[in-house]
Structure 1
Amino acid sequence: MTSNLEDQLLALRQEAEAAVAFADTLERLEELRVNYLGKKGQLGALLRSMVEMSAEERPKIGAIANTVKEALQNSLDQQRAALESAQIQAQLEAETLDVTMPGIYRPQGRIHPLNGIIDQALDIFVGMGYTVAQGSEMETDYYNFEALNTPQDHPARDMQDTFYLPDGNLLRTHTSSVQIRYMEKEEPPFRIVAPGRVYRRDDVDATHSAVFHQIELLAVDEGLTFTDLKGTVKIFLQAMFGDLPIRFRASYFPFTEPSAEVDLQWNGRWLEVMGCGMVDPNVLKSVGYNPEIYSGFAAGFGVERFTMVLHQVDDIRRLYNSDLRFLRQF
């Protein structure tokens, strides 16, 4: 009985080791482990027949069985390590990039010239202590006109005819509406700069567009004067254009008094670049400020005008038609 069981154990070892050596997947290897070493495996079935042996025979067969089990377990571990290593190597080879091959060309994006001028201007104003404020492009008649000292019958409305919506709202004609909303919520002193898209009914040509961009600034505090306005405008224009001659011409805006147009001497001729003025007392009253205590100044300019001058663009429509031949220059 002992000799027969011993022969069976050795034969099982040879059979199992051969099967393990030919296993080519981890799944197949696990099947072999269960078949030979599992609770219901072949080795366990042979060992259960030891109950019929005598007490003297069991230790010898038990030692042989342990040797067979350890040999099979070692074979399984070695084959598993070899298969896992091969699997990792195959994955690495499949995922390896050939760095000698040329990459797929993806052109880099560029900042649009309009956005570039906006960023440049805002950097200057923020450096001067201004806070950026923004608002909705759809406005009410009150915030766009009436609160800015421009009632229904005011002739200045003809110059800022805009697009009206069925619900009575309109597309803002300037970012001054942002200033009104800001003043309603905040108390002086403050300094803000308001960039954004604005709309006016205008015939489109080389220098005009019904949709354009504007940047306006507003400062309100005790004791502000026209001298503060002139100094602020001068510092800003010199930062944008360089140290060039600047002049202020008397003008008219409903929401500022006194008002002025700002000219810059560019390429030997005077070029109008900005409008500005001291905030009209009626505007301060409309937001609840006491004009006897507070004063303020405001200024604004068209981003397209600055862009066309600084980049020598001959037609405003080039800024909107998304022609890559034009945009790649910036």
Structure 2
Amino acid sequence: MRDELNQLKKEALQELEITDQLNVLKEVKVKYLGKKGALTKILRGMGRLSEDERPIIGKLANEIRDELEKAFEDRESKLKDLELQKRWEKEKIDITLPGRHVERGAIHPLKKVLDEVHEIFLGMGYDIAEGPEIETDHFNFEALNIPKDHPAREMQDSLYITDEILLRTHTSPVQARTMQKLVPEKPIRIICSGKVYRKDDDATHSPMFHQIEGLVVDEKITLGDLKGTLLTFARQMFGENVDIRLRPSYFPFTEPSAEVDISCVICEGHGCRVCSKTGWLEILGAGMVHPNVFLKSGYDPDKVTGFAFGMGVERIAMLKYGVDDLRIFFDNDKRMLEQFK
């Protein structure tokens, strides 16, 4: 048995010497020193020894176990140091290398304009209201005094999902939803912004674009209040020298209605190619809320009045930044977007 123990020690040390991975080292240790390992198997045969031999072999077995335990610990420590050294070699940072350039992003010009419009109207005491982009025919048309035979309902103008469901063509449904939700509360001062959808696609139109609309409902609201509000907005957005004018127009949900122009921001109203020598640029539509819209929302048009207005965010951005093709905003061309860093 003495020879078996010495042979086991020799084999264990030899195998230990060539082991270069920690997981393999654990397997080798179990093989020789585990509960079912080679050393345990040899010691089970001690019953065959004489009483004089047992303490001698037992002492030898303990010495070999202690020696092998120490050898395994040393080998494990060495392998851990080697593994750590390899990681350091692999993960080390060469501080002499130049740093990597991180590109600086920027807010998209449409988002910049949207945020700026929000900021202006929030400063005038307006709240921001939101609504769904997939709308019902009722809120998109009926509640806004747009009857079944109105041209705006034609399939070539609107993107229908079913006969009664469509992608909203304007953010006006948010106004109708807000009035029906708050009736008979007043005053109401809201702006509603978001994506809208129409079957348009050219240099000045997109099938998806962004719109901002405003609504005020209270007693004794006049057209003068509307003009003063829009003049304040125009001057904060385009500069203190900007003026506005209202031209008679038609919208089914306002009466009277007007197209609103600003004095040309390029030539300051003197006349140029951009404003077709007129000195004016069309910017938005507005008007006094139609009595029928009040009735459909539950308000009494004999007791309240109000005004509404709507503008395209892309239109504002085109004027503000001198862009002549609306589609540029959606091309994701870095050469254009980098100008807004």
Structure 2 length as normaliser, TM-score?
0.76
* Aligned positions of 1:43-82 closer than 5 A: 43-82=39-78
1:234 aligned onto 2:244: no
* Aligned positions of 1:231-310 closer than 5 A: 231-249=228-246, 251-252=248-249, 253-265=251-263, 266=265, 267-269=267-269, 270-310=280-320
8 Å contact kept, 2:145–2:292: yes
Bigger drift between 290-299 and 218-227 goes to: 218-227
* Aligned positions of 1:3-22 closer than 5 A: 5-6=1-2, 8-10=4-6, 12-22=8-18
**Alignment match, 1:148:** 144
RMSD: 3.7
What is the alpha-carbon distance in structure 2 between the residues aligned to residue 211 and residue 14 of structure 1? Answer: 81
Counterparts in 2 of 1:235 and 1:80: CA distance versus 1, 3 Å: same
Deviation above 6 Å: which 4+ runs of structure 1? 102-106
**Alignment match, 2:21:** 25
Equivalent position amino acid for 2:291 in 1: P
Equivalent position amino acid for 2:163 in 1: G
147, 162, 176: which one aligns with 2:157? 162
1:117 aligned onto 2:113: yes
What is the alpha-carbon distance in structure 2 between the residues aligned to residue 90 and residue 248 of structure 1? Answer: 75
Structure 1 residue 284: Cα displacement: 0.8
Structure 1 residue 216: Cα displacement: 0.5
**Alignment match, 1:191:** 189
Counterparts in 2 of 1:101 and 1:62: CA distance versus 1, 3 Å: same
Structure 1 residue 210: Cα displacement: 6.2
Equivalent position amino acid for 1:315 in 2: D
What is the alpha-carbon distance in structure 2 between the residues aligned to residue 72 and residue 209 of structure 1? Answer: 80
**Alignment match, 1:220:** 217
SS of the residue 1:120 aligns to:
helix
What is the alpha-carbon distance in structure 2 between the residues aligned to residue 105 and residue 255 of structure 1? Answer: 53
Equivalent position amino acid for 1:268 in 2: E
Counterparts in 2 of 1:67 and 1:223: CA distance versus 1, 3 Å: farther
State how many pairs are aligned: 323
151, 175, 182: which one aligns with 1:179? 175
SS of the residue 2:72 aligns to:
helix
What is the alpha-carbon distance in structure 1 between the residues aligned to residue 79 and residue 4 of structure 2? Answer: 29
